[in-house]
Amino acid sequence: MSDCLTFCYENAAERVCVCLQAKTTKKIVLRLECVEPNCRSKRMLAIKRCKHFELGGDKKRKGQVIQF
């Protein structure tokens, strides 16, 4: 399965195939692993689609005054 949607059209002189990206974002999935030495179980936690993802960054708040 490819990551793009392909369609072709022809005219008298040439044939053109265009590849369009179906989705511009990827789903973010966290892989969580238990730290107990005798457990070590793993599970996947899916987060929504997003263009930018930062793990552990500062949170943006509404109405907060910018200080220098």
Between 57 and 51, name the one with better pLDDT.
51
pLDDT tens digits, one per residue of 2-56 = 566 677 777 767 777 777 777 788 888 888 998 888 988 999 999 888 888 777 7
pTM for the full model? 0.46
Q: Are 27 and 45 in contact (CB under 8 A)?
A: no
Q: What is the DSSP string of 44-67?
A: EEEEEEES---TT-PPP-TTPPP-
Residue type, 44: M
